[in-house]
Amino acid sequence: MTALPRDRSRVEFVALMAMLAAMSAFGIDAMLPAMPEIAADLSPTDPNRAQLILSSFILGMGVGTLFTGPLADTLGRRPVVIGTILLYCAGALITWQSQTLGMALTGRLIMGLGAAGPRVLTTAIVRDRHSGPDMARLMSFVMVIFMIVPAVAPAIGAVIIAAAGWRAIFPAFAIFGLVALVWFGLRQPETLPPDRRRALSLRALTGAVAEMFSHRVVVLSVLVQMLAFGILFSMLSSVQGIFDAYDQGEAFPLWFALIAVVSASASLLNARLVGRIGMLPIVRGMLAVQIGLSALMLVALALPLPRGVEFAMWMVWCCSVFFQGGLVIGNVNAIAMQPVGHIAGLAASVIAAVSTVGSVVLSVPVGLAFDGTALPLAAGILVLAVLALGLTLMMRR
């Protein structure tokens, strides 16, 4: 592990890693207020298909992560991060000019491919210097800053839509990417020296992947992460529509900011607890709580409750879903990375690819089942949480 250069503070390092990681969150959350307008313009006969503009981004991100790690292990972290940020900006500009849903989905897929680099290599860069609970603690601080973006992104999106229409969001994505690119290019040195790089060959890649998945804990952690992302992406696909159903669509950016602030507190809590009680007990405990709250939400939806009471329960449950992400995803990722630090770039890439693509397969049916209520979403999340908890019970502390 290498130390931070003297002219680089730990605070700046965390902030830069958070901004890189936030490119994917900004690319998703700023879109949410635009979904009704996108559906009306590009898919008026089947509004639910507009959700695919989120899924295509996530799918591109998942596929892209399969390649960024191996390339970064061969070429170094810096050139791959810089190249993928440029791809992210190009995809944003293609979507900006799209006139059909198919073209928009293509642009979003390219955007997602570009977002994969910063997303994966943030973890790899941190893992180049830290491991175990120290890595989990540092990633928790990254997540705290990272969660500021979901808090403000829908409001930023709403302001842009009001001022210039939904298409103007995409140049904003490109600007965000360029700011991250300049900061990274000027301030982040290479963390993978030439003597630790791996030759890019099919035999080496397949051997490393086989080594990864020979570890039982890696396999189980990847599956749990896939289910946890599936829960989050299912919620993101339906959340705007459910707020509309409760006649809260105009206030959605404010409600979502509140949800994001609550979610950020999970990362702070994790940073304080992970060194005391360990990563796996935190994951198990949070998933058990999620199962209970999801079952309670299903009961609430089945009862003839006053509309205000039902909305209050929805808000508590919605917050719990995002709060869960702060306590589960970072920890299971650190658990998965623990045995494979010597191939951190490839490991981060494969873990992110499998968990993300798998989560799209899980979340798209839940999102398309949206019927104007939270019932399909609550049922889907309950099933995913039960499966995730069951897998953690197969893992040793």
**pLDDT confidence bin for 186, thresholds 50/70/90:** very high
Contact 328, 270 (CB under 8 A): no
**pLDDT confidence bin for 344, thresholds 50/70/90:** low
Decide if pLDDT at 47 tops 70. Answer: yes
pLDDT tens digits along 116-148: 999 888 878 887 777 666 676 777 677 666 667
Domains detected in the chain: 10-190+201-392 (1.20.1250.20)
Decide if pLDDT at 207 tops 90. Answer: no
Task: Report the chain's C-alpha Rg in angstroms.
Answer: 20
pLDDT tens digits along 297-320: 999 999 999 999 999 999 999 999
Ramachandran angles phi, psi of 286, nearest 5°: -70, -40
Once rounded to an integer, what is the mean pLDDT over residues 151-173? 91
**pLDDT confidence bin for 2, thresholds 50/70/90:** very low
- Using CA atoms, how far apart are residues 256 and 314, in angstroms rounded to an integer? 13
pTM, full prediction: 0.79
Residue 280, token pair as written in the block: 């796996």
Give the largest CA-CA distance in the chain. Answer: 66
**pLDDT confidence bin for 7, thresholds 50/70/90:** very low
Decide if pLDDT at 356 tops 60. Answer: yes
pLDDT at 267 (0 to 100): 74
pLDDT tens digits along 216-249: 888 999 999 999 999 999 998 889 889 989 999 8
- Write out the H or E segment, with its range, that includes residue 192: none
- Using CA atoms, how far apart are residues 73 and 212, in angstroms rounded to an integer? 15
Residue 93, token pair as written in the block: 């500009």
Once rounded to an integer, what is the mean pLDDT over residues 105-126? 90
